Amino acid sequence: MPLEVNKHVQRIRRYQPFDADTSEMIYELQADWTQSLFPVVTLKYLLDAIERPTTKTIVLTGDAGHGKTSLCASLLAELRVDAEPITPEVRKAVFLELSGAGDASRSIGQTRSGRPLYILSDLSELSPQAGARKLVELLDPPDEGIAIICANEGQLRKCVAEDDNLGKGGTGRAKILVKTLTEGIVRGQVTDPDGTVTVINLNYQSVAADSDNGGLIPWVLKQWTTNQWSRWKPCETCDARNVCPILANRNELNDLTRGPQRRAAIRDVFAAAERTGAVITTRQALSVTSYMLTGGLSCENVHAKYQRSHSNRLWQAPHLYHQAIFGDRLTQQQRHLVPAFFALRKLDPGKVSRRQVDDRLDPDTAGDFPPADASSYLQKVRTNRDVQKQAEQLRGLYTFLRRADFFNSDDDTDRFARMGLQAGDDFVRVQDKNRDPADTRVRDRFLKGLEAVQGIHRAGSNPDFFILDPAFFTHRARAAVISRRVPSKGVEVVDQVTQWQREAGTGATPEMQKAVEWLNRAIYIRIPAVAPDQDAVSVEADLLRFELLTRWAAGLRSEVQHEAEIRGLSGSLAELADSSNKEDEIQVLVGNIMRKLMIDVGDKIRSVRA
């Protein structure tokens, strides 16, 4: 049998920006029009939004790679075929039209109600001055039409700031776009009060959404590994099939018994990365998934290895999916091309040592492609160099085994801890609407962590929360002035959606949750304000910050390494300090003992235990 080159593998490799012969994964350079697109919920939201009579301008903003141009093309294709299936010919025709009329100079289509549609496919192609004029023009599109603007947030703010400069001919009208964008961040609303402007922040778009379909990652894995066996049929007749890690990855993820749990574990890693604060764009997700599935190899690379040795099974290990997903073989420069690798590497289960995991790992069960020959790490050592070499080999072996076991394990209750996130389960539990309201463990730990940020370490579970005077936040002496004591009973911990509802003062579901593939990425602790007429002070925590607070609450702290995090939290707590207290009594925390300082006759200061 000959050595076969699988065209499906070649198509998958095009999503990797590491080689000179691969293009960036952007819609404008797509060559395979038969390839289906992920049915993102934003498309459905756009189809509804353009039919509202009040809608005039829609802005799609977010980092490059979220698929803004692809969304516009899919929208045009849906409008063109209505209820009919979208054919490759239609998608190609839409691409050509979008290339010629993507500057919003003329109508490129029309809504189902007959209103003309104008699309500005990239605001970054214009200077801030020209962009400002274009934004103002598209706030009132010609012929009562609708304009869709694709813009990254930085360029959008530059253009709006240019229009806000009235001394240089600005109109000040474009600031409604930034105002609506800000409302989306603060309250989750994507439409202005008049309903004329809609701004969808795609940085809230998740590739591992908390929905029935699980988001982009499970969909892509299904498309590339489980659907249409004919795509992988050339591999059946390839001479190198028994030593090919690409085919092994496909078979592992397509296995009827364990494939679903492996794909679910991959989705969980991406979800955890997003919850730690990383923004993973569609382009990055496809690049990582492509590299993970192929191991960074092409069919030609595998053939060359096979021709050197038909039976060698020791070179494949780094290219298996559970190793390649963390990008070990990529250079630092290559990882910068796909920043998602940095976020994933922080959650590498291969670097986390847990006795209950390591005790059951067996090198003899490493699979068909072990990471090293057993004789190399079991040989006797005679010199210090031999000791170091053996230690390095054992470290690599256990990293390999931990990763493989993480994705093979059918127990999904321990995944956060295996990624080094002890507080992960509690973080997710906050989003459970059915959780027991009497369970205050997460709230108490959150408050204890915030006290630790200020340098307060109290034993046991306390019914109140101390806020130091801001002047003592960085004080390293034994005593600190207490500015305010907050009863824990009035403090609550909520998820992102509930926080938006509290800020808006309504129980309605925020529009942002419906406009993007949604995943709750932050929790908030809401602490009552000092004055009755003020709003509660909310402290935001993504999964990484919550993990730090949990560890600080337990007594661990690294002030130098996390100085920026501590400074940000201290700034939020400063809003709670009570500066209106005019009593002649000062509460002081000396070590862990509360004392009162009272001013007596003759300005004498007396100290008593509180």
The phi, psi pair for 383, rounded to 5°, reads: -125, 170
Which of 21, 25, 20, 45 lies closest to 35 in space, CA to CA? Answer: 25
Q: Would you state the pLDDT for residue 220?
A: 94
Highest mean pLDDT, choosing among 146-160, 469-483, 553-567: 146-160
CA distance 288 to 297: 13
294-298, 445-449, 557-561: least confidently modelled range: 557-561
Residues 168 and 203: beta-carbon distance below 8 Å: no
Q: Would you state the pLDDT for residue 476?
A: 56
CA distance 89 to 571: 56
In the sheet with 197-201, reading across from the earlier edge strand, the strands are 109-110, 116-120, 146-151, 57-61, 197-201
CA distance 584 to 604: 11
Q: Please tell me what DSSP assigns to residue 484.
A: E
Residues 538 and 499: beta-carbon distance below 8 Å: yes
CA distance 421 to 436: 23
Strand pairing partners for 103?
120
What confidence tier does 351 reach under pLDDT thresholds 50, 70, 90? very high
Alpha helices per DSSP H over 365-440: 374-378, 384-408, 415-418, 424-429
The answer on pLDDT for 558 being more than 90 is no
Element (H, E) at 593: strand 593-599
5-19, 134-148, 259-273, 472-486: least confidently modelled range: 472-486
Report, in angstroms and rounded to the nearest whole number, the Rg of the chain calculated over CA atoms.
28
Query: Cα-Cα-Cα-Cα dihedral of 401, 405, 407, 410, to 10°?
Result: 180
Strand pairing partners for 117?
109, 146
Q: Which residue has the tokens 């400002």?
A: 132
Q: What amino acid occupies position 457?
A: H
Express each pLDDT in 194-214 by its tens digit: 999 999 999 999 999 988 878
Q: Would you state the pLDDT for residue 481?
A: 81
Mean pLDDT, residues 147-154: 94
Q: Would you state the pLDDT for residue 138?
A: 96
Mean of pLDDT over the chain: 87
Strand pairing partners for 542?
522
What confidence tier does 253 reach under pLDDT thresholds 50, 70, 90? very high
Residues in the chain: 610
Residues 235 and 4: beta-carbon distance below 8 Å: yes
Q: Would you state the pLDDT for residue 541?
A: 94
Highest mean pLDDT, choosing among 208-212, 304-308, 454-458: 304-308
Mean pLDDT, residues 287-307: 95
Residue 243 in tokens: 């030593």
Residues 27 and 37: beta-carbon distance below 8 Å: no
Mean pLDDT, residues 312-323: 94
Q: What amino acid occupies position 554?
A: A
Express each pLDDT in 501-549 by its tens digit: 998 887 788 999 999 999 999 999 999 887 777 788 899 999 999 999 9
Q: Would you state the pLDDT for residue 102?
A: 84
Express each pLDDT in 224-243 by its tens digit: 998 666 889 999 899 999 99
What confidence tier does 404 reach under pLDDT thresholds 50, 70, 90? very high
Q: Would you state the pLDDT for residue 250?
A: 96
Share of the chain above pLDDT 70, in %: 90
Which of 280, 262, 261 lies closest to 270 in space, CA to CA? Answer: 280
The answer on pLDDT for 469 being more than 60 is yes
The phi, psi pair for 206, rounded to 5°, reads: -105, 145
Express each pLDDT in 352-392 by its tens digit: 999 999 998 888 777 889 887 666 666 777 788 878 888 88
The answer on pLDDT for 595 being more than 60 is yes
Alpha helices per DSSP H over 112-240: 128-138, 153-163, 175-187, 216-221
Angle between helix axes 153-163 and 128-138 (nearest 10 degrees) is 80
Residue 298 in tokens: 């092409």
Share of the chain above pLDDT 90, in %: 57
CA distance 472 to 454: 8
Residue 121 contacts by C-beta under 8 Å, 6 or more apart in sequence? Answer: 68, 69, 72, 98, 102, 103, 150
Higher-confidence position of 598 and 64 = 64
Q: What amino acid occupies position 224?
A: W
Mean pLDDT, residues 330-346: 95
Express each pLDDT in 410-437 by its tens digit: 887 889 999 999 999 999 999 888 888 7
Which of 543, 338, 573, 337 lies closest to 453 in space, CA to CA? Answer: 573
- DSSP structure string for 125-150: GS-HHHHHHHHHHHTS-GGG-EEEEE
Express each pLDDT in 27-44 by its tens digit: 445 555 566 788 899 999
| Ramachandran quadrant class, 258 (left: phi over 0; alpha: psi -120 to 50; beta: rest) | alpha
Element (H, E) at 58: strand 57-61
CA distance 556 to 565: 15
